[in-house]
């Protein structure tokens, strides 16, 4: 099964949280309410150096994805 690069998620146990799930490597979930990121991968120290450079761009993409999806509800 193929998944889109990003998915929106919510949970009634966290009524104010808005989750975006990144399904490709490096997989993560970001809570847009507080920008907390949970990585779903195990990284080596070398991986972490590469990740630092890539993480900011991925988080910006996740936020842009959310903004795009929400704008489509208003159409």
pLDDT, tens digit, 9 for 90 and up, residues 1-32? 999 999 999 999 999 999 999 999 999 999 99
**Rounded to two decimals, what is the model's pTM?**
0.88
Q: H or E segment at 68?
A: helix 45-73
Give the pairing of strands 19-22 and 28-31.
Answer: antiparallel
For residues 31 and 48, the model is more confident at: 31
Number of domains in the chain: 1
Q: Is residue 15 part of a domain?
A: yes
Q: Is residue 69 part of a domain?
A: yes
Q: Is residue 1 part of a domain?
A: no
Host domain of residue 17: 6-73
């Amino acid at each position: 099964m193929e998944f889109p690069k990003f998915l929106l998620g919510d949970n009634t146990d966290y009524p104010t949280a808005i989750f975006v799930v990144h399904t490709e490597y490096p997989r993560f979930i970001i809570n847009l309410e507080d920008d907390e990121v949970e990585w779903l991968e195990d990284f080596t120290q070398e991986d972490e150096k590469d990740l630092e450079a890539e993480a900011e761009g991925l988080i910006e993409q996740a936020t842009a994805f959310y903004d795009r999806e929400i704008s489509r509800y208003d159409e």
